[in-house]
Amino acid sequence: MLISQIFKLNKQQPELDFVDVNVDNDIRLFIDPYYLANRTDPWCLEVSETIRNYFQNLIDKLRAKDKEAIQLLSYLHEPNETCLGLSQGKPSGRGVGSHDMANIYESLSKSKAVQTGIISDIEDCHIFVEGFGKDKLSDMTTGIIRRHLIKYTQQQAMLNGFDLRQGTPSGFFWDPELSRWNNEYTEMLVIDNRKILLVPKGIVSFSTGYTPDKYYNKFVLDYLRNDLSSLKPILIQQRKNGQPYVTKKSLRIEYPYSKEFLHDFTQRNPKIFNDFRRKAKNDYRQTENYELHPCDIPQLTEYLIEQLCAIAVGPENATQYHRLIAGILELIFYPDLMFPYIEQEIDQGRKRIDIVFNNASKEKFFYDLHSIKKIHCPYIFIECKNYSSDPKNPEIDQLIGRFSTTRGIFGLLLCRQIKDLDLFIERCKDTLKNGHGLIIPLIDSDIMSILDDIGKTAKVGIVQSQHIYNLLEERCRRIYMG
């Protein structure tokens, strides 16, 4: 059964930031540390720093032939909390457990790539070290970042309104401040007496980009085919026009695939490996919602419009409005905005509800805010107001109160309607002019128009609408230019 079904969230995958896993079966997805390392949003930067801290400690001890290295590996027990990976049937985990930890240690300690420094990041183990497949690497990463995933699960529970169990042992996680393994008692999601970790859909992949097979076939062999001077004459054939050539089949026979061969080749040709890393980074794309679960986007957008219209204004419906808006924004803005959480909620959700998204955009409006308009916005602050009256200065002041020079100075104010939009835009102008930040309003009719456009332009479950970004640009232009 899916998480959304267990907790009766009445949401589909495009409305959820986490992978809506079936707790009875693993889904063949992986947490990819290479993908994490190439992200620039605040959540991924923090998580990647934890991974680097662990791996640097491990590598230092391996190169020094320090037996404590085996202790650093011994805490990586088999994780089954994420329901990701290659297990068949009930999730059982395929991580670095006690049964093969010694083999992993032996592979690492004997690896020439570790000793020569070719391996600089944990994801490189998949390329150069025997015994490291994408499942092992993913599960190893899960153990290292377990505390980050616990905090994420806690945030998603608050955002979506389901309960956690108090006083639950966390399991071991890497503590970068202490540079050691640690554990604690905390709030955790427990289903049928089994701990579950929710995983952001923005950090999972099928792990098909940064792989030893792709490096060998697409880069190493291609390089050898084009560098005939380094090959044995017997490998080189002649075309009818006298042009020399060599086949990949003959190269595979002469230079059979092995991770040791990849290491030796990389030592001689480091530029080719750097080219591979660069290409893999450029080719990476977000996992789409439809790849996780099929979804009829036009039907979903129509349903969300109906739900929005059905919510009555007033503080007693504030939580219902805020949770619906959170799902709509997830649908609209993924993957530009990710990792949403509630910063503060009081009086059973009847007062001041703030949602914060990480700005993960690499293009379009949210990227241009920082790069062109110089509006610092690593986080995007969302204020939801289920009012019948127009928002005024106090509502603007609430958003300004969330801003800071480190957290960002941009926010969206969502409310049911604004009868005098021109007057509110003038207030936003004053806020910007006084150096307090940029605030853009969105009302129900905006949201419904955006959803309608998404439903009409969706293709194979992919949200393709440009309407929201045109609308934001138009509002932004009015605030800047008048």
CATH number of the domain encompassing residue 305: 3.40.91
Written as six digits, the tokens of 158 are 């608050």
Residues 3, 18: contact at Cβ < 8 Å? Answer: yes
The continuous run of DSSP H or E covering 344 comes out as strand 337-346
Same domain, 271 and 379: no
Structural domain harbouring 338: 296-481
- Mapping DSSP to helix (H, G, I), strand (E, B) and coil, where does residue 361 land? coil
The continuous run of DSSP H or E covering 139 comes out as helix 134-144
Q: What is the pLDDT of residue 109?
A: 87
Residues 171, 153: contact at Cβ < 8 Å? Answer: no
User: Is 291 within a domain?
Assistant: no
Which residues, other chains included, contact 389 with Cβ-Cβ below 8 Å and sequence gap of 6+? Answer: none
For helices 444-457 and 297-310, angle between their N-to-C axes, nearest 10 degrees: 170
Last residue within a domain, chosen from 236, 261, 283: 283
CA distance linking residue 377 with residue 381, whole number of Å: 9
Written as six digits, the tokens of 390 are 């127009």
- Mapping DSSP to helix (H, G, I), strand (E, B) and coil, where does residue 235 land? helix
Same domain, 174 and 313: no
Same domain, 186 and 47: yes
Residues 257, 224: contact at Cβ < 8 Å? Answer: no
User: Is 288 within a domain?
Assistant: no
Tell me how crowded residue 134 is: count the other CB atoms within 10 A of its CB: 21
Last residue within a domain, chosen from 143, 172, 205: 205
User: Is 289 within a domain?
Assistant: no
Burial class (CB in 10 A: 0-12, 13-18, 19+), 132: buried
User: Is 255 within a domain?
Assistant: yes
Q: pTM for the complete prediction?
A: 0.92
Same domain, 216 and 311: no
Same domain, 179 and 313: no
Residues 41, 380: contact at Cβ < 8 Å? Answer: no
Whether residue 335 has a cis bond before it, omega within 30° of 0: yes
Which residues, other chains included, contact 309 with Cβ-Cβ below 8 Å and sequence gap of 6+? Answer: 444, 448
Same domain, 153 and 23: yes
Nearest to 352 by CA among 362, 360, 344: 344
- Mapping DSSP to helix (H, G, I), strand (E, B) and coil, where does residue 364 land? helix
In the block, residue with structure tokens 């929201």: 468
User: Is 290 within a domain?
Assistant: no
pLDDT tens-digit profile, the chain (482 residues): 999 999 999 999 999 999 999 998 888 899 989 889 888 899 999 999 999 999 999 999 999 989 899 999 988 876 889 999 865 445 554 445 555 677 788 888 888 888 888 998 999 999 999 888 888 899 999 999 999 999 999 999 999 999 999 999 999 999 999 999 999 999 999 999 999 999 999 999 887 889 999 999 999 999 998 888 777 888 888 887 878 888 899 999 999 999 999 999 999 999 999 999 999 988 888 889 999 999 999 999 999 999 999 999 999 999 999 999 999 999 999 999 999 998 765 445 444 558 999 999 988 899 999 999 999 999 999 999 999 899 999 999 989 999 999 999 999 999 999 999 999 999 999 999 999 999 999 999 999 999 999 999 887 767 778 899 999 999 999 999 86
In the block, residue with structure tokens 């994801």: 123
Residues 371, 353: contact at Cβ < 8 Å? Answer: no
CA angle 120/121/126 to nearest 5° reads 110
Same domain, 37 and 108: yes
User: Is 110 within a domain?
Assistant: yes
Same domain, 146 and 10: yes
CA distance linking residue 168 with residue 185, whole number of Å: 5
Last residue within a domain, chosen from 249, 283, 317: 283
User: Is 238 within a domain?
Assistant: yes
In single-letter form, the type of residue at position 220 comes to V
Same domain, 268 and 413: no
Same domain, 421 and 329: yes
Same domain, 223 and 313: no
User: Is 429 within a domain?
Assistant: yes
Same domain, 441 and 395: yes
- How many domains does the structure of the chain reveal? 3
Long-range CB contacts (within 8 A, 24+) of 42-50: 42/358, 42/378, 42/379, 43/148, 43/152, 43/200, 43/338, 43/339, 43/358, 44/203, 44/358, 44/360, 46/148, 47/145, 47/148, 47/203, 49/176, 50/144, 50/145, 50/148, 50/174, 50/176
CA 243 remoteness from chain centre: 48
